Amino acid sequence: MARIVKNKELVNTKLATNYGGWMYCDGCGENIGYLCYSTYDKIELKYTCNCGNKGSLLIDFEDSESGQSCNNELIIIKNRFCCPNDHEPLITILEKKVNFYKMKITCKACSKTYEKSLNKLS
């Protein structure tokens, strides 16, 4: 069943489909990662591509629940950031394609909000 998008704000970023799939930098057209369609409830991502472009995306849904902040780390399985509770993939960030990112993502299954960041510039 398709989900109804409540908020969708893409800045200098393209998605392969409505609310998931491959993510692309508008500046250079490079693939910067992959957002899994059905496993997240909300995503907030800010990044700086290797080309210097600053982009962001915010997506949530009509049926999204408020995520509970947690201190647990996302786990990595086959280069995907996954929920540590059910091991479902949430997102892939191609770290070799970006100099910086800051992300908050809420897992649909457990309603936990995970934060992750990288800053190669500091």
52-72 mean pLDDT: 91
Task: State what percent of residues in the chain have pLDDT above 70.
Answer: 98
Neighbouring C-beta atoms of residue 6, cutoff 10 Å:
12
Mean pLDDT of the chain: 93
Give residue for tokens 């059905």. Answer: 38
At 67 the pLDDT is 84
Give residue for tokens 């969708």. Answer: 8
Q: pLDDT tens for residues 67-115?
A: 899 989 999 999 999 999 999 999 999 999 999 999 999 999 999 999 9
pTM score of the predicted model? 0.93
At 14 the pLDDT is 96
